[in-house]
């Protein structure tokens, strides 16, 4: 059968001219990314974008930074010693142990889960090092590595039971809290306290300072240069493939702000003992873990799993592997944090990992901006959160406030942060951005 619909009388007639594309189609093909429009509008565009984000509940780290500034102003007004070089140096070193544990908590919270065992695991790491190094004469480096591996194995066990067997993470890690605390008491023995050497690698973790002023300023210069080069080449790569990128003037402005903070910190450290080794290690950990979360496929799988387990499963993500590895990471950083805490007091004792350590580590991650509901956060949140908590503790200690009141205030700050997080999520849902 002939399916040609052309009439014989149409043969020889010129074909009709093609219909022009409608204006809407042309507009769609030349649409401009909204982020480019914001940057083209200059300062006014950024202010308008900032207002839009605030209305949509996208506050980012702004509340934490504002809160930290208010804390500094209040305590400096109450006691002029709060912002002295010595006190700031003490705060910086004291925050590292809890901050390391909080980094691991950030990974777990990104899944929308919790790890209650990190305090006990940190105590086991410190006790393991003391037993291996002091009682059995194991070389320090080997004892440190084995102690960290102990935390990694403990975390992997928790993650496997949760991910493979299906036991709720709360129950698994609560059991881990009790088990590892008992294990720590067992290996410490009847004495309950093992003093470590006041020299060596372990001691230097929390007690070594680079006294040469050139080291602090050099580290600040390297950090600023690295930030600028990273932002600059990232912008060039985006331009090459037609993706919205930051203009050079914005990169320069951000670099200038980083430079002010970095060199101010270097100046303050040099007014005391110098740049603390603990701070250098902590910042290096934050840089590496932030890169893993934001720049690797593994990091994207963590965020995806925190957003939706079912969608992640359909996308082919190995959920058991990701969950198990995240808890192994949490255990690893719990062990590292425990080593820093033990190094600070040059001892491992029965009180390690107990008290408010667990709550402070979780609070640091949440206060810093990591969502309890999963899928939103960065490891830099651990730095902001632990700065807030440690600053409050040291500020109240300068005023002679009892530890009980300090815990009440820290709990109040955590509650306010969680409320802000919940309200933010509701606002984002109403704005269609959840």
Structure tokens at 81: 């010693």
User: Could you give the angle at the alpha carbon of 280 between the alpha carbons of 276 and 281, nearest 5°?
Assistant: 115
Mean pLDDT of 352-380: 87
Identify the helix (H) or strand (E) that includes residue 347. strand 347-349
pLDDT tens, 52-111?
Answer: 666 655 666 777 888 888 989 999 999 999 999 999 999 999 999 999 999 999 999 999
Structure tokens at 297: 């496929």
CA distance 402 to 115: 28
Q: Which residues contact 130 (CB under 8 A, 6 or more apart)?
A: 188, 194, 196, 342, 347, 348
181, pLDDT greater than 80: yes
- Under DSSP, the state recorded for 348 is E
What's the pLDDT at 1? 46
What's the pLDDT at 47? 67
CA dihedral 238, 244, 248, 253 (to 10 degrees): -120
Entry pTM: 0.85
Higher pLDDT, 244 or 230: 230
- Hunting for tokens 């493939």 — which residue is that? 241
- For the chain, the C-alpha Rg in angstroms (whole number) is 27
pLDDT above 70 as % of the chain:
84
Q: How far is CA 116 from the centre of its chain?
A: 18
Q: Within 10 Å of residue 180's Cβ, how many Cβ atoms?
A: 28
Q: Mind giving me the DSSP string for 229-289?
A: HHHHHHHHHHHHTT-----HHHHHHHHHHHHHHHHHHHHHHHTTT-EEHHHHHHHHHHHHH
Q: Within 10 Å of residue 409's Cβ, how many Cβ atoms?
A: 16
Structure tokens at 54: 């605030």
pLDDT tens, 368-405?
Answer: 888 888 888 899 999 999 999 999 989 988 888 887 88
pLDDT tens, 284-342?
Answer: 999 999 999 998 999 999 999 998 889 999 999 999 999 999 999 999 999 999 999 99
9, pLDDT greater than 60: no
244, pLDDT greater than 90: no
| Inter-CA distances, 326 with 147, 217, 308, 322, Å | 18, 35, 16, 6
What's the pLDDT at 193? 87
Lowest mean pLDDT: which of 64-68, 201-205, 228-232? 64-68
Average pLDDT, the chain: 85
What's the pLDDT at 34? 56
Mean pLDDT of 207-213: 93
What's the pLDDT at 26? 47
Mean pLDDT of 28-44: 52
424, pLDDT greater than 80: no
User: Could you give the angle at the alpha carbon of 64 between the alpha carbons of 272 and 389, nearest 5°?
Assistant: 55
CB contact at 8 A, 40 and 415? no
Q: Which phi and psi (to 5°) does residue 11 adopt?
A: -65, 135
pLDDT tens, 131-176?
Answer: 999 989 899 999 999 999 999 999 999 999 999 999 999 999 999 9
Q: Mind giving me the DSSP string for 16-33?
A: PPPPPPPHHHHHHHT---
Q: Within 10 Å of residue 198's Cβ, how many Cβ atoms?
A: 8
């Amino acid at each position: 059968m002939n399916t040609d619909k052309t009439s014989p009388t149409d043969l020889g007639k010129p074909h009709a001219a093609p219909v022009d594309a409608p204006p809407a189609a042309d507009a769609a093909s030349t649409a401009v990314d909204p982020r480019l429009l914001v940057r083209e509008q200059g300062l006014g565009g950024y202010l308008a974008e900032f207002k839009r984000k605030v209305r949509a509940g996208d506050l980012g780290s702004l509340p934490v930074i504002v809160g930290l500034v208010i804390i500094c102003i209040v305590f400096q007004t109450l006691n002029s010693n709060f912002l002295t070089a010595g006190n700031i140096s003490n705060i910086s070193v004291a925050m590292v142990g809890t901050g390391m544990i909080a980094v691991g908590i950030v990974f777990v919270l990104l899944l929308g889960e919790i790890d209650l065992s990190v305090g006990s695991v940190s105590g086991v790491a410190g006790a393991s090092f003391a037993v291996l190094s002091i009682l059995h004469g194991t070389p320090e480096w080997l004892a440190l590595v084995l102690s960290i591996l102990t935390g990694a194995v403990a975390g992997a066990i928790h993650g496997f039971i949760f991910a493979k067997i299906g036991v709720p993470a709360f129950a698994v890690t609560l059991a881990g809290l009790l088990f590892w605390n008992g294990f720590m008491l067992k290996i410490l023995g009847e004495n309950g306290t093992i003093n470590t050497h006041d020299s060596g690698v372990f001691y230097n973790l929390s007690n070594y300072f680079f006294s040469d002023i050139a080291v602090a300023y050099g580290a600040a210069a390297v950090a600023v240069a690295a930030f600028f080069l990273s932002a600059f080449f990232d912008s060039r790569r985006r331009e090459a493939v037609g993706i919205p990128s930051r203009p050079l003037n914005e990169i320069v402005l951000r670099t200038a702000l980083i430079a002010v903070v970095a060199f101010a910190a270097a100046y303050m450290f040099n007014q005391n003992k110098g740049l603390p080794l603990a701070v250098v290690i902590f910042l290096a950990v934050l840089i590496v873990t932030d890169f893993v979360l934001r720049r690797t496929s593994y990091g994207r799988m963590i965020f995806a799993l925190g957003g939706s387990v079912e969608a992640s499963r359909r996308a082919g993500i190995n959920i058991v592997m990701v969950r198990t590895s995240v808890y192994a990471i949490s255990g690893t950083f719990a062990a590292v944090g425990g080593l820093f805490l033990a190094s600070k007091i040059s001892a491992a004792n029965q009180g390690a990992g107990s008290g408010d350590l667990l709550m402070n580590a979780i609070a640091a991650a949440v206060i810093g901006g990591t969502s309890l509901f999963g899928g939103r956060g960065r490891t830099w949140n651990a730095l902001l959160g632990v700065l807030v908590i440690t600053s409050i503790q040291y500020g109240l200690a300068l005023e002679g406030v009892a530890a009980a009141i300090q815990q009440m205030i820290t709990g109040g700050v955590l509650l306010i942060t969680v409320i802000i997080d919940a309200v933010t999520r509701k606002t984002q849902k109403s704005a269609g951005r959840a």
